[in-house]
Structure 1
């Protein structure tokens, strides 16, 4: 390798590095468990007919493709993830549905091309669903419960906190009593709800 090639290689790597200005997107997005989140990535002129993709994994070289477009504006859906290219606006949208806590990860918006693809990194976080219930003074020592069903008389109690106990943890629901407030966090990952 001569001296000319030595400086040329770093320059080429910089030119084709994932994150090139040809594609942009949010650095981070977040959603609630069991909800949906949408990521929109933009690209420059000339990339309209190229395949766009959504890839999972922090390492650019080994991320796993989740979903790809067909090079058209037709929406493509795979499991709980869809991708749709809007070529007129030069943007594509990825939607992740029915979020799970373990969907949180590093992802990439990308454009497939000859040589090294173009891409931009997006951090996805998923927060558990939390509900806060307030109660007035004098109710601290009473039993509090969380149940599932529209009819209070027939609902199935998932968890209850007895007396002034500060919290109860089961595989299904967590209740924390403090400052006359119940904080209930329910997670599909732990409890299969």
Structure 2
């Protein structure tokens, strides 16, 4: 009797401790800020119709459920997180989008069942987004000082505009300049006396 009890203890231990061999997944995954990442967890036969979930928090008893499936293969989306169960492949995937630095934490992918759920811990690390390359900045600055190019649809009008400017120069500006020159010459003309020749001194 005592030997049988000893043999049953390991089996009972698996029932109350999360992370048994019935479900498996990556130990750790990394993502980049503003990007996305996907976590894939596998499970044993017999759990195809069970609800799968994604939970956040290092403590198993206090982790917060982020999203759950409906027991079918239909994708469920909640905010920036989605989950889909592939029952034929006996795996489900969790996708996190628009990643933020504070998304870094300990998560669990698990299976809901009577009694204690099954779970596998996953460490999620989000790295800061890379800085803009210097070459990109240099290109942007160079474009700021580039002279604007006339649109193609206006390029055919440039000779016509030049001809109009030339005509204005001939018919308006040249006579105006000649008139101004004549006025200047008229003001500076030499004055003559009206009494004929000047008298000579006696």
TM-score normalized with structure 2 length: 0.63
1:37-74 CA-to-partner distances (Å, cap 9, x unmatched) read 00000001000000000000000011000000000000
Query: For 1:141-175, what per-residue CA distance to the aligned partner results, in whole angstroms no more than 9, with x for missing partners?
Result: xxxx969x899539xxxxxxxxxxxxxxxxxxxxx
Match runs of 1:1-193 below 5 Å: 11-131=11-131, 133=133, 152-153=143-144
Aligned-partner Cα distance in 1 for 2:90–2:23? 10
Q: Which has the higher helix share?
A: 2
**SS where residue 102 of structure 1 aligns?**
helix
Distance 1:86 1:9 in 2: 33
The two structures have a TM-score, normalised by structure 1, of 0.65
CA offsets 1:89-139 (integer angstroms, 9 cap, x no match): 00000000000000000000000000000000000000001136467xxxx
Q: Distance in 2 between matches of 1:133 and 1:77?
A: 34
Q: Distance in 1 between matches of 2:21 and 2:67?
A: 22
Structure (1 or 2) with the larger CA radius of gyration: 2
Where in structure 2 are there 5+ consecutive unaligned residues?
Answer: 146-202
User: Closer, same or farther in 2 for the Cα pair 1:49/1:134, shift >3 Å?
Assistant: same
Higher strand share: 1
The number of equivalent residue pairs is: 142
The two structures, once aligned, show a CA RMSD in angstroms of: 3.0
**Partners in 2 of 1:151 and 1:40 — Cα distance?**
45
